[in-house]
């Protein structure tokens, strides 16, 4: 019995107990659902697995719409510390979200939107607004049925809006977390209402292998399974993540304990690169097994998938075989966590692989340069290129400016991103234009030369996170510049996340001394790309071009940066 049939069988007097929203044009069975959740620990690789599976289904001719559900109460990821949560990924429509959305975009080569991301804060905000408006007809608003119903309704609306064959749901956190228990309950209800043939539940567990024992252990995974089954979920597949190949005995234990057929208990060891994951998942036929379970094999084109996988396979083989190595420094203040700069690392991988090279990253903690703990020349030893990434606040800023100065004076290829562009402008203003007190009003509100400032239109907007230029913006490219040669056109679109801009008051002075603003906003005097023509490569942008990079389509600015190093 399907969800609508269930509701029809309930008497009118009690039907409000079953808040199960079905949009008017929604048909059960037209869209299938794949749910991916993790147990044992976070960081088990749910996002990469889900992205890889989505890629294989996309290559086979299916339209896949991913959605990530996070349990925190923030409205978005914009105010989260990169040390705690990794980078904030920005969608073209301005949504600040979890870095897993970056994985989906890169793997699917597809721009996502705010409907593809959901937090507890978004869910509760919607419900409370509806309650204040009296939309629940006097009912006491509860987790069940209203919170779970809201989640199901969001998934069904996503299916309709994006005309998805498959909605792939990734549940953040770990099975057993308080913050995602109601999401798991919503998925249990979804399976019940949609019917078992229309929903596939995949649990990723982690198989530990303590070095002191020298063998794999399945007990933590069994305990995670116990929690999952206690919440009413019987998984269809168990994906066993591990450092090494999972042994048959471990798979057998997991199979017996989970009631999942042994052929659907699949070991997934680490790969040399995340881009190899789709190929391994294909080799294990996970995609075909999932499609068979969901009765989608009639839409599944092995021929189309095989043909499209060829280019992906070539990319992976080139990445693995290249011998040429270059050292690139990332000078920032979140260097203690690689995920803080995830999209930059991926954009460098894409561009370097395209140019038959491999990148070694050297992290430079700029607060140490600022505090004289390390010398900038020592920090830059054996470095072939420098990136100053995005960021906020005063800490480490002077260290970044010192790094930019070294790159400019020593003709070291330089790429500044967002905050990195602001640091480049300050450095140039001080050391080339002679205005030694030049600064940003973010760093020094009373500076005599506010070369970086909040523009008047930004000052009118109140609230942290609300007064930024966010998301995709058009950029007008000046002909005859390096930017024009890289992009090959006079109009492009990049993504932004910033409050402060180059102060128009000082643009003439900067240009007079040799700085070229090669990209600007079409309708406003907002500088978006700069370059110094007489350098090997000295470019900076107020945007985050790393968000637009794809494995098979390197972002032009990163591609130019890598090429300049190799030359």
User: Quick one: pLDDT at residue 500?
Assistant: 92
Task: Say how far apart CA 458 and CA 441 lie, in whole Å.
Answer: 13
pTM: 0.91
Tell me how crowded residue 554 is: count the other CB atoms within 10 A of its CB. Answer: 22
Per-residue confidence (pLDDT) for residue 17, from 0 to 100 = 55
| Predicted local confidence at residue 9, as pLDDT | 47
The single-letter DSSP state of residue 114 is G
Model confidence pLDDT, tens digit, residues 269-303: 999 899 999 999 999 999 999 999 999 977 888 88
Alpha-carbon gap, residue 60 to 306, rounded angstroms:
8
Domain ranges of the chain: 32-76+87-315, 323-566
Contact at 8 Å (CB) between 287 and 53? yes
The per-residue pLDDT for range 89-115, each reduced to its tens digit, is 999 999 999 999 999 999 999 999 999
Distances (CA, A) of 181 to 143, 304, 393, 417, 435: 10, 39, 36, 39, 57
| Cβ–Cβ under 8 Å, residues 434 and 444 | no
| Superfamily per CATH, domain 32-76+87-315 | P-loop containing nucleotide triphosphate hydrolases (3.40.50.300)
Write phi, then psi, for 244 (nearest 5 degrees).
-125, 180
Q: How many CB atoms lie within 10 A of CB 332?
A: 27
Higher pLDDT, 298 or 440: 440
Is 32-76+87-315's fold the same as 323-566's? yes
In CATH, the number for domain 323-566 is 3.40.50.880
Structure confidence by residue, pLDDT tens digits, 455-470: 665 555 444 444 678 9
Q: Any idea which residue has 């992290």 for tokens?
A: 363
Q: What is the pLDDT of residue 14?
A: 40
Higher-confidence residue of 85 and 32: namely 32
Kindly calculate the radius of gyration of the chain based on its CA atoms and give it in whole angstroms. 26
DSSP 287-323: HHHHHHHTT-TTT--HHHHHHHHHHHHHHHHHHHH--
Interatomic CA distance for residues 343 and 87, integer angstroms: 8
* Cβ contact 526:533 at 8 Å: no
Query: What angle do helix axes 148-161 and 120-132 make, rounded to 10 degrees?
Result: 100
**Catalytic site positions:** 418, 544, 546
Q: Chain-centre distance of CA 257, in angstroms? A: 34
Does residue 12 surpass a pLDDT of 50?
Answer: no
What is the rounded CA–CA span in Å between residue 211 and residue 195? 44
Average pLDDT on 529-536 reads: 96
pLDDT band at 498 (very low <50, low <70, confident <90, very high): confident
Residue with tokens 């629940």: 136
């Amino acid at each position: 019995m399907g969800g609508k049939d269930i509701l029809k069988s309930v008497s009118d007097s009690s039907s409000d107990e079953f808040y199960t929203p079905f949009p008017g044009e929604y048909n059960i069975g037209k869209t299938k659902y794949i749910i991916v959740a993790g147990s044992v620990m976070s960081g088990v690789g749910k996002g990469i697995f889900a992205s890889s599976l989505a890629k294989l289904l996309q290559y086979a001719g299916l339209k896949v719409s991913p959605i990530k559900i996070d349990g925190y109460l923030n409205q978005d990821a914009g105010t989260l510390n990169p040390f705690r949560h990794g980078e904030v990924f920005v969608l073209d429509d301005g949504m600040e979200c979890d870095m897993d959305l970056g994985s989906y975009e890169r793997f699917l080569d597809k721009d996502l939107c705010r409907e593809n991301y959901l937090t507890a804060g978004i869910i509760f905000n919607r419900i409370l607004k509806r309650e204040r408006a009296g939309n629940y007809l006097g009912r006491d608003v509860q987790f069940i049925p209203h919170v779970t119903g809201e989640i199901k309704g969001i998934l069904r609306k996503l299916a309709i809006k994006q005309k998805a064959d498959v909605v792939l749901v990734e549940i953040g956190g770990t099975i057993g977390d308080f913050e995602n228990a109601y999401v798991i309950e919503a998925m249990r209800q979804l399976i019940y209402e949609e019917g078992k043939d229309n929903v596939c539940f995949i649990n990723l567990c982690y198989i530990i292998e303590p070095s002191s024992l020298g063998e794999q252990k399945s007990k933590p995974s069994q305990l995670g399974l116990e929690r999952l089954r206690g919440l009413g979920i019987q998984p269809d597949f168990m994906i066993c993540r591990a450092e090494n190949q999972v042994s048959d005995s471990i798979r057998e234990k997991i199979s017996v304990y989970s009631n999942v057929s042994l052929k659907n208990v699949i070991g997934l060891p680490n790969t040399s690169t995340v881009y190899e994951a789709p190929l391994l998942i294909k080799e294990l036929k996970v995609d075909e097994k999932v499609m068979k379970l969901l009765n989608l094999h009639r839409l599944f084109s092995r021929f189309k998938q095989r043909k499209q996988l060829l280019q992906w396979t070539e990319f992976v083989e080139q990445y693995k075989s290249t011998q040429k190595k270059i050292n690139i420094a990332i000078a920032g203040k979140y260097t203690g966590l690689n995920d803080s700069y995830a999209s930059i690392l991926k954009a460098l991988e894409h561009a370097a692989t395209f140019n038959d090279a491999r990148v070694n990253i050297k992290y430079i903690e700029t607060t140490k340069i600022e505090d004289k703990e390390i010398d900038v020349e020592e920090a830059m030893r054996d470095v072939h290129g420098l990136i100053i990434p995005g960021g906020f606040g005063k800490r480490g800023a002077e260290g970044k400016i010192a790094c930019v100065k070294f790159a400019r004076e020593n003709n070291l290829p330089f790429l500044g991103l967002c905050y990195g562009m602001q640091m480049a402008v300050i450095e140039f203003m001080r050391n080339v234009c002679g205005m030694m007190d030049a600064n940003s009003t973010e760093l020094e509100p009373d500076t005599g030369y506010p070369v970086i400032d909040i523009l008047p239109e930004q000052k009118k907007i109140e609230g942290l996170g609300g007064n930024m230029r966010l998301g995709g913006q058009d950029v007008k490219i000046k002909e005859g510049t390096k930017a024009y040669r890289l992009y090959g056109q006079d109009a492009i679109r990049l993504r932004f996340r910033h409050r402060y801009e180059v102060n128009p008051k000082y643009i003439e002075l900067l240009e007079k001394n040799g700085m070229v603003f090669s990209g600007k906003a079409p309708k406003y005097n907002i500088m978006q790309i700069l370059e110094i023509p007489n350098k090997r490569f000295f470019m900076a942008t107020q945007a985050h071009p790393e968000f637009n990079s794809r494995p098979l389509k390197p972002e032009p600015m990163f591609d130019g940066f890598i090429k300049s190093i190799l030359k």
